[in-house]
A and B are shown apart, each in its own frame.
Chain A
Amino acid sequence: MHRNGNGPMVLSGLILAVCLVMVCALSLVFGSRSVSPSDILHALSASSDDIAVSAIRLRIPRTVLGLLVGAGLGVAGTLMQGISRNPLADPSILGFNTGAALAIVCSIAFFSLSTPAQYVWVGLLGSATTALVVWAIGSLGPSGPSPLRLTLAGVVISSVLGSLTSAVLLPRVNVISSYRFWQVGGISGARFDLMMPVLPLLTLGLILAFCLTPGINALTLGDQMAEGLGMHVGRVRSLAWLAAILLCASCTALAGPIGFVGLVVPHVARLLIGPDYRRIMALSILIGPLLVVGADVVGRIITRPSDVEVGIVTALIGAPVFVILAGRRRTAEV
């Protein structure tokens, strides 16, 4: 149900889609080893043992992971800003990342877990548990979970878990060295076999997010107005929180804590297309991947032949972009 002409929406969507395809192509081309476009075609189609071709084959899972993580974080950020009516809501503010970090640090320190496959599950467990605790604390009080209480609970839990992580980490030098690669947030170690088990959770989260979007439009008018319009406010908010848990926990488990994506993507989408969450959501699923894959490509180019992890680049790009956005009146409120 779109009231206005779809012109601006189709145009934005098209431009973003083209940019996304281009960035994906760059992601396959750029790296320590240069390859030609014909090598890419070879790698995608025929079987060849060329070194260039195998370089590209390594970059395919990395690009796919960038797309998945970008989509997941972008949509999760949009969802969280919508249900909390808080323009600063983001997976890291609500404690998801610190929860995953603590779980992983503990698993390295006390259970000697060391493989990425183990990190995925431990991280998933950590951020999901944290999200449930934040939800439970935010729901205390007579009128159920309110946007403000959720945000406060997230900030408080985040700082507690952050301190605990430091406490476990600092005396253990060997843990620091295993942990630091996860901690910066990256997609360079992408492997399809690690992605597969998390993919259903991510997909479920995305589907749920899109189903809830019309309700989020009503929710932005205030809880009472939304109920007056016939929405089950509590039910929609709980389901949206569940979707956000699925998305953020999957992304954090796969790629570590990547900041700013969930925060910036909804603002960029809102700037492009206005306050309708059905449209913001649709653009978020394009802008998120564009940002993450783009940041990964930038990270590979600026310090060639080595890599700067995507989590560092998104923060470097994201922070100034966010400062500019915050100065504009349209983005001051959700």
Chain B
Amino acid sequence: MTSSPAYDAWSSAHKLTASHLRLTYGGRTVIEDLSLDIPPHTMGSIIGPNGCGKSTFLKAMARILKPASGTVMMDGEPITSMPTRKVATILGLLPQNPSAPAGITIADLVARGRYPHHHFVERWTTKDEKAVERALALTGLTDMAGCPIDRLSGGQRQRAWIALTLAQQTDILLLDEPTTYLDIAYQLEVLDLLSTLNRQEGVTVVMVLHDLNMAARYSDWILAIKDGRRFALGTPDEVMTENLVREVFDIASTVVTDGTTGAPLMTPAPLHSLEAHSGEACNAHVHWDDSAG
């Protein structure tokens, strides 16, 4: 991993770990017992079916959801006992649906990432200005800085939000489904950006992703969650197997190696996805079988 001056200046290797988290939401247990050591300076993905608790887990790692039991530790200290502003200088979070005030420009939105670095009446400094300029440059938004955010495309908007978290200058960045609602070109745009940040700036990136192939392509490690527990954790090659896809997502598939990237590539088997759900009894399914036979 190459190290840039900026990366050295930030901070070296903050360590975020979760041990035996049990997470509940509205009285329902979403995560039973889940532990994870996030390897510093890596890019990792959390995958799993809808409702498996992956977003909930990410929120707990970002200390915005208090665990029912278990602890999230930052450099060996319970994250909930640290001042939240201090955490915000180490750990950035991009939630699923942030809301942009109407009419705000990219530059002003990105500048709000400086919030944790300011105390009560501190003035805007050159350090703040540099952080914002840098975040804009890294996300390729410098030329559009004065543009209102409501006029941007989906990919540009997501880049602006990522720029906000970059202006926050954190060592670790957690993202909840950063590619949702984006078409394939914008998905690649966002993931390429995160990958660059990870490799060039040493930012530890953890994201919840729905697209397994994107997860395999961009991650150093993948955590697969099923029924609130860890099902598998390892490199994409270790985790992305036909067996895992069947066990976790309930679909039959073929996993091959992508010729260009070398990452595992999953293709759902034709019709088998329907068979897997046959227990849910639907007439259309029966009819389909008849005509097929």
| Size bracket, chain B contacts | 35 or more
The 6 residue pairs across chains A and B that have the minimum distance between CB atoms: A230-B88, A228-B93, A224-B95, A230-B85, A275-B101, A230-B116
> How far, in angstroms, from A222 to B100 measured CA to CA in the complex?
8
Say whether A214 faces chain B, with CB atoms less than 8 Å apart: yes
Once the chains bind, are A231 and B99 in contact (CB under 8 Å)? no
Once the chains bind, are A230 and B115 in contact (CB under 8 Å)? yes
Say whether B98 faces chain A, with CB atoms less than 8 Å apart: yes
The stretch of A15-23, A242-250, A292-300, A325-333 in contact with B is: A325-333
By a CB distance below 8 angstroms, the chain B residues around A274 are 103-104, 108
Most buried by A among B84, B91, B132, B165: B84
> How far, in angstroms, from A227 to B107 measured CA to CA in the complex?
21
Say whether A46 faces chain B, with CB atoms less than 8 Å apart: no
Once the chains bind, are A221 and B98 in contact (CB under 8 Å)? yes
Once the chains bind, are B112 and A333 in contact (CB under 8 Å)? no
By a CB distance below 8 angstroms, the chain B residues around A270 are 103
Inter-chain contact count A-B, CB under 8 Å? 104
Total chain A interface residues with beta-carbon distance under 8 A:
32
Say whether A4 faces chain B, with CB atoms less than 8 Å apart: yes
* 0/1 string, A308-334, CB within 8 A of B gives 1: 000000000000000000000111111
CB distance from A8 to the nearest CB of B (A): 13
Say whether B2 faces chain A, with CB atoms less than 8 Å apart: no
By a CB distance below 8 angstroms, the chain B residues around A218 are 112, 115
> How far, in angstroms, from A224 to B123 measured CA to CA in the complex?
25
Say whether A276 faces chain B, with CB atoms less than 8 Å apart: yes
Given the known A-B contacts A224-B93, A228-B62, A228-B88, are A1 and B118 also in contact in the complex, defined by CB atoms under 8 Å?
Answer: yes
Once the chains bind, are A214 and B132 in contact (CB under 8 Å)? no
> How far, in angstroms, from A225 to B122 measured CA to CA in the complex?
21
Say whether A142 faces chain B, with CB atoms less than 8 Å apart: yes
CB distance from B144 to the nearest CB of A (A): 16
The residue that B26 contacts in the complex, of A142, A230, A334, with Cβ under 8 A, is A142
Nearest opposing residue in chain B for A224, CB measure: B95
Say whether A158 faces chain B, with CB atoms less than 8 Å apart: no
By a CB distance below 8 angstroms, the chain A residues around B92 are 228
Once the chains bind, are B93 and A334 in contact (CB under 8 Å)? no
> How far, in angstroms, from A26 to B61 measured CA to CA in the complex?
60
CB distance from A222 to the nearest CB of B (A): 5
The residue that B101 contacts in the complex, of A4, A230, A333, with Cβ under 8 A, is A333
* 0/1 string, B118-129, CB within 8 A of A gives 1: 101011100011
Say whether B232 faces chain A, with CB atoms less than 8 Å apart: no
> How far, in angstroms, from A143 to B56 measured CA to CA in the complex?
14
Given the known A-B contacts A142-B27, A228-B93, A230-B115, are A3 and B100 also in contact in the complex, defined by CB atoms under 8 Å?
Answer: no
Say whether B202 faces chain A, with CB atoms less than 8 Å apart: no
Once the chains bind, are B108 and A4 in contact (CB under 8 Å)? yes
CB distance from B23 to the nearest CB of A (A): 13
Interface residues in B110-160 (C-beta closer than 8 Å to A): 111-116, 118, 120, 122-124, 128-129, 132
**A interface majority secondary structure:** loop
Taking Cβ atoms with an 8 Å cutoff, the residues of B that contact A are 25-27, 59, 62-64, 83-89, 91-104, 107-108, 111-116, 118, 120, 122-124, 128-129, 132, 164-165, 168
The residue that B107 contacts in the complex, of A3, A214, A224, with Cβ under 8 A, is A3
Once the chains bind, are B87 and A230 in contact (CB under 8 Å)? yes
Name 26 A/B residue pairs within 8 A (Cβ), A-sorted.
A2-B123, A3-B111, A4-B107, A142-B27, A221-B100, A221-B164, A222-B99, A224-B64, A224-B96, A225-B93, A225-B98, A227-B63, A227-B84, A228-B64, A228-B88, A228-B95, A228-B165, A229-B112, A230-B89, A231-B115, A232-B84, A275-B102, A275-B103, A275-B104, A329-B102, A330-B103
By a CB distance below 8 angstroms, the chain A residues around B98 are 221-222, 224-225
Once the chains bind, are A3 and B116 in contact (CB under 8 Å)? no
Most buried by B among A2, A211, A220, A229: A229
The residue that B112 contacts in the complex, of A85, A221, A331, A332, with Cβ under 8 A, is A221
CB distance from B47 to the nearest CB of A (A): 21
Assuming A142-B26, A229-B88, what are 6 further A-B pairs, CB within 8 angstroms?
A2-B124, A3-B124, A221-B101, A228-B64, A230-B116, A270-B103
> How far, in angstroms, from A50 to B106 measured CA to CA in the complex?
61
Given the known A-B contacts A221-B112, A230-B85, are A1 and B122 also in contact in the complex, defined by CB atoms under 8 Å?
Answer: yes
> How far, in angstroms, from A211 to B120 measured CA to CA in the complex?
8
Once the chains bind, are B128 and A1 in contact (CB under 8 Å)? yes
Once the chains bind, are B102 and A1 in contact (CB under 8 Å)? no
By a CB distance below 8 angstroms, the chain A residues around B107 are 3-4
Say whether A165 faces chain B, with CB atoms less than 8 Å apart: no
Say whether A217 faces chain B, with CB atoms less than 8 Å apart: yes
Once the chains bind, are A229 and B26 in contact (CB under 8 Å)? no
